């Protein structure tokens, strides 16, 4: 669910991907020079009407070493109806129905998922049997089980603003064929109840691996007085089965450089997705991508993978993010506004 909305200045521009700080920089004097360095000769200025030379590295994520880790600036592709889905908290691309995105609302009582196109066009809804949400924060699409040719939509009823609920719920249903339109009536679904091995936690991010095992990334606590964000933790379900999740470790979340929302509510993870050895997580201010050394690396190892910042538009309460399957890049959206953005890979 949602903290108070932070009013963000409209003049702030898109976040470039070069967002990680370098803590090992050498000492420099007040004018930015190394000790003992002589004043450089003044640079020769070009004629007033000479075009500026393009910077070939502008906008590239820090650590961008392969095409799939390099993205263009965000592009607004359209908008969905924010009155129908005012608290858009989860987004996932359909495997079975190319070009279709599943959109999740986190209001109490949510009973299904919305279907939209890559331009935000409303395509209908899928009502899910047994889903009467407390706080559905994220969804994912993945295999229904090891070696299963079917893909399932996983819905995470995992939000717990006060971090005191005894358990969380994961629902899943087999992806329907939407070629003739949304299914009539409810689709069958099953559900598991999971508990944390240590203490209840708030969470807004659900990931699913190639065996259909759910993972939960927690939303860290925030000490507003000390302005300190607590640890972000990763947990894995015991297969598709009820029980206690396994704590896999903390997720490194680099400090925000343009932390407009982070300064008020913390640098917290609000959504995520995974695809082919990559995990993308978003905060209210930034997008972070973790890239595996090989595409086959276990999803549970992603906290150890190299991480870089990736571009994002400025959004009032950004929680939804998903990799595209019919194109190279990712979508992102916010609560309270229907704007849908696509961030394409560089050629």
Identify whether 62 is part of a domain: no
For 300, phi and psi rounded to 5 degrees?
A: -65, -10
In the predicted structure, residue 64 carries a pLDDT above the cut 70: no
> Residues 136, 159: contact at Cβ < 8 Å?
yes
Note the pLDDT of residue 314.
87
The total number of structural domains that make up the chain: 1
Identify whether 320 is part of a domain: yes
CATH code at position 138: 2.120.10
In the predicted structure, residue 66 carries a pLDDT above the cut 60: no
In the predicted structure, residue 77 carries a pLDDT above the cut 60: yes
248 versus 314: which is more confidently predicted? 248
CA distances from 152 to 103, 156, 201, 306 (A): 15, 13, 25, 29
Identify whether 261 is part of a domain: yes
Identify whether 46 is part of a domain: no
pLDDT tens-digit series, residues 40-58: 444 444 344 333 333 323 3
Identify whether 41 is part of a domain: no
Q: How confident is the model at residue 223 (pLDDT cuts 50, 70, 90)?
A: confident
* Total residues found in the chain within this entry: 347
The parent domain of residue 191 ranges over: 67-344
Compute how many other C-beta atoms are within 10 angstroms of the C-beta atom of residue 19. Answer: 22
Mean pLDDT score, 80-87: 92
Q: By C-alpha distance, which of 281, 116, 130, 276 is closest to 209?
A: 276
pLDDT tens-digit series, residues 232-278: 999 999 999 999 999 999 999 987 766 677 777 888 999 999 999 99
Identify whether 59 is part of a domain: no
pLDDT tens-digit series, residues 129-156: 999 999 999 999 999 999 999 999 999 9
Identify whether 52 is part of a domain: no
Identify whether 47 is part of a domain: no
For 193, phi and psi rounded to 5 degrees?
A: -105, 130
């Amino acid at each position: 669910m949602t903290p108070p909305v932070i009013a963000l200045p409209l003049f702030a521009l898109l976040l470039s991907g070069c967002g990680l700080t370098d803590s090992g920089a050498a000492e420099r004097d007040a004018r930015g020079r190394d000790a003992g360095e002589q004043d450089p000769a003044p640079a020769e200025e070009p004629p007033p009407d000479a075009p500026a030379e393009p910077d070939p590295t502008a906008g590239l994520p820090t650590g961008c070493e392969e095409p799939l880790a390099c993205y263009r600036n965000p592009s607004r592709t359209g908008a969905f109806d924010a009155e129908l889905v005012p608290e858009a908290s989860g987004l996932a691309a359909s495997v079975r129905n190319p070009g279709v995105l599943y959109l999740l609302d986190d209001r109490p009582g949510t009973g299904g998922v919305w279907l939209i196109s890559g331009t935000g066009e409303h395509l209908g809804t899928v009502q899910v049997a047994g889903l009467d949400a407390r706080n559905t924060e994220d969804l994912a699409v993945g295999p229904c089980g090891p070696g299963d040719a079917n893909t399932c939509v996983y819905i995470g009823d995992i939000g717990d603003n006060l971090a005191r609920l005894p358990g969380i719920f994961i629902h899943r249903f087999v992806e329907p064929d939407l070629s003739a339109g949304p299914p009539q009536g409810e689709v069958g679904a099953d559900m598991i109840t999971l508990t944390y091995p240590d203490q209840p936690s708030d969470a807004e991010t659900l990931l699913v691996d190639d065996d259909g095992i759910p993972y939960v990334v927690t939303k860290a606590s925030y000490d507003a007085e000390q302005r300190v964000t607590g640890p972000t933790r990763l947990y894995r379900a015991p297969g598709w089965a009820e029980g206690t999740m396994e704590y896999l470790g903390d997720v490194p979340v680099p400090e925000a450089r343009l932390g407009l929302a982070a300064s008020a509510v913390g640098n917290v993870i609000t959504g995520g997705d995974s695809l082919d050895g990559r995990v993308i997580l978003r905060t209210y201010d930034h997008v972070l991508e973790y890239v595996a050394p090989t595409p086959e690396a276990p999803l549970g190892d992603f906290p150890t993978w190299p991480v870089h910042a990736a571009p994002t538009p400025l959004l009032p309460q950004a929680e939804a993010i998903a990799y595209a399957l019919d194109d190279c890049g990712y979508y992102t959206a916010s609560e309270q506004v229907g704007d849908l953005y696509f961030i394409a890979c560089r050629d």
